[in-house]
Amino acid sequence: MVVDRTDRTHSAWSWETAAAALILGIGFARIVALALNPIELYADESQYWVWSLQLDWGYFSKPPMIAWLIHLMTTLFGDSDFSVRLASPLLHTLTASFLFLSGRQLWDARTGFWAALIYLTIPSMWISGAVISTDVPVMCAWSGALYALVRLRSGGGWASAAGLGLAIGLGFLSKYAMIYFGLGLGIALVIDAPTRTALLNLRGALALLIALALLTPNILWNAAHDFATVSHTAANANWGGELGHPGELLEFLAGQLGIFGPALFPVLVVVLGGIVWHFRQAPADSRLLAAFILPILLTVCVEAFISRAHANWAAVAYVASSLLVAAFLLRGPAWRRGVLYGSIAFHTALGLFISIVVVNPSLVESFGLENSTKRIRAWDQTTAAISEAGLAGDYSAIVFDDRNIFHQMQRYGSTGDRPLQMWLRYAGPVNHAEQEWPLADGYAAPVLIVSHRPLEVEKMREDFDLFEPAGSLSIALDGDKTREFTMWRAQGYHRVERDDAYEARWLDSGEGDQTG
């Protein structure tokens, strides 16, 4: 059967038009939803906003991109919660666009359309599109880098090489998970001849130079700050405790059903298994995408088994996964299209349901989701109550033992001339709040301590000459959930040395580390 070239062109144009309408339409809808969203920033978002007030090449726990984005958005559109989060739907829209372009380059416009739609509707995207996190810019950079690589493999020129270097560099400035892209690129150079042809030349050298030029200032910042961000990233691995946790591995894998979808994740596993099992017969494009998926999933699975792994630690794998799964489900038996359409419909219905429920406390209680919303509720009431308590006494400062509460106070509280300070549990700072706003050893004036961690109270008591009750606070959340604080009037701060004997004494007493 001869297919007319005009028909093929018209078909491609139709899919391109549909993709543009879809991507822009969903992006616009999410911006409108964000503008109507009554939920205050959660603690990490408030921390990123604090970073954005003082631009730098790095911060205690993350590279600088998220702070730069928030600074840009709040400068352009005002310092509102909407502006703090605005970069998220904008960048997700750009990520979906890169996925469409990659799908079209690898296969056709139809595949690109469905890859973009998969990405925009996977369960995790309904949450990620409504908040600002480091996953947002790194996935955008990842998708841009993947598209530039695909273009280079197909004969792209210097612009594609520069785009690859730019995207890799910006990705590293967003989140160090971008190192997985370097791993995938290394594997691709070994298994994929077109990648070798595209990169083992001056164009590849240009990409490398641009990436290194962008990354160097952050490396220098880390060197000047005792590699704080790198150390924090390594500490998250938590390899210091007992190793071997099959339950953590199962929990991580179960979490991927909620990240990528209860049907799409098993499909992805089957497709990856088929590529590995029939490696020589697998299409080169599929092998290429697998290099940017499988190493990530395997690495984080090993991390989960050895210690722990949060469900989103493999998030960058789902950029290439959206392409690979779309290509698989669009070809072959009809049941595959059923899985594709059914998954997208289910994910969309689930996302809309969650979006409606989470902004309605009565529905949250009806569906028993109070535990899931407790961290995003009543921050105005919480900070107002703390501010009132701090201004009611002769306190010279308000001191916290929880960096989440501290950053929410910075965002929403008003304490007049009472500065906010952090009590340090360990010998040195373990977060940005402790690094920048520690209560100075030897501080003599009276302070109000607002404790959100009951197990830390007795440790704090040891550090002060005077330590007496000053009341408590209970903030109502959804259902029967509350946010509880004890308050203490303290004076004469002299930190007990945090040596091995100190830690052993508290460990023996049954009051070990309390984090979260």
Angle at 408 between CA 407 and CA 410, to 5 degrees: 60
Among 128, 66, 58, smallest CA distance to 93 is for 128
Angle between helices 228-236 and 202-224 (to 10 degrees): 90
**Domain spans, the chain:** 5-359, 375-508
pLDDT tens-digit readout, 329-341: 999 999 999 999 9
> Which residues are CB-contacts of 32 (< 8 A; sequence separation ≥ 6)?
none
pLDDT tens-digit readout, 173-208: 999 999 999 999 999 999 999 999 999 999 999 999
Q: Which two tokens stand for residue 41?
A: 């920033």
Q: What does DSSP say about strands 447-451 and 464-476: parallel, antiparallel, or unpaired?
A: unpaired
CB 295 within 8 A of CB 187: yes
Task: Look up residue 130 and give its amino acid.
Answer: A
Q: What does DSSP say about strands 420-422 and 398-400: parallel, antiparallel, or unpaired?
A: parallel
Mean pLDDT value of segment 58-69: 94
Is a pLDDT exceeding 60 seen at residue 276?
Answer: yes
CA–CA distances in Å: residue 484 to residues 368, 386, 405, 408, 471:
20, 11, 11, 15, 11
pLDDT tens-digit readout, 419-442: 999 999 998 899 999 999 999 999
Angstrom distance (rounded) from CA 94 to CA 110: 18
pLDDT number for residue 363: 83
Q: What strands lie across the sheet with 464-476, from one edge to the other? A: 420-422, 398-400, 447-451, 482-493, 464-476
pLDDT number for residue 489: 96
pLDDT band, very low/low/confident/very high, at 479 (cuts 50, 70, 90): confident
Angstrom distance (rounded) from CA 175 to CA 447: 37
CB 139 within 8 A of CB 312: no
pLDDT tens-digit readout, 153-182: 999 999 999 999 999 999 999 999 999 999
pLDDT band, very low/low/confident/very high, at 278 (cuts 50, 70, 90): very high
Is a pLDDT exceeding 80 seen at residue 114?
Answer: yes
3-state secondary structure 422-434: ECCCCCCCCCHHH
CB 173 within 8 A of CB 134: no
Task: Supply the pTM of this predicted model.
Answer: 0.92
pLDDT tens-digit readout, 260-275: 999 999 999 999 999 9
Bridge partner residues of 467 (DSSP): 490
Angstrom distance (rounded) from CA 362 to CA 479: 8
